[in-house]
Structures are given as structure tokens and as C-alpha cells.
């Protein structure tokens, strides 16, 4: 299967959304102390990056 730039960006967006949600979930449910804030913040950063990748689809 040949992957062009849009397919790669689509997969990267999907993976980053999944990882962002996992990190936010870890921050909420696993680490209730100060480390949870770090996990949540990094998860939100992953979601923001996925948003950028999604908006680049079709323009690259």
C-alpha cells in the first residue's frame, strides 16, 4: 500500500490523538498527585499537535 503525505499525516493525527487521550487518562486516574498535572499537560499538548497535523492535511 502506497502512502502519500496526506495518509501519513492522517495516521500521525490518529496516533497522537490516541496517545494524548491515554496521557490525559493516566493523569486523571493513575497519578492523582503532582505528576498527574504533568501527564495531563503533555496529553493536551499531544492533542494540540494532532490538531495542527489535521489542519495540514491537504495543504502539504
Residue 44: CB partners within 8 Å, gap ≥ 6? 20, 24
How much is the pLDDT for 60?
66
Separation of alpha carbons 42 and 21, rounded Å:
10
Residue 17 belongs to domain spanning: 5-56
Count CB-CB contacts under 10 A for residue 39.
18
Pull the grid cell for residue 36.
Answer: 498527574
Which of helix, strand or coil describes residue 43?
A: helix
**Residues in the chain with pLDDT < 50?**
none
**pLDDT for 45:** 93
CA distance 56 to 14: 14
Domain count across the chain: 1
Amino acid at each position: 500500500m502506497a502512502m502519500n503525505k496526506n495518509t501519513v499525516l492522517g495516521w500521525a493525527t490518529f496516533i497522537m490523538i490516541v496517545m494524548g487521550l491515554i496521557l490525559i487518562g493516566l493523569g486523571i486516574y493513575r497519578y492523582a498527585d503532582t505528576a498527574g498535572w504533568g501527564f495531563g499537560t503533555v496529553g493536551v499538548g499531544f492533542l494540540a499537535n494532532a490538531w495542527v497535523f489535521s489542519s495540514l492535511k491537504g495543504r502539504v
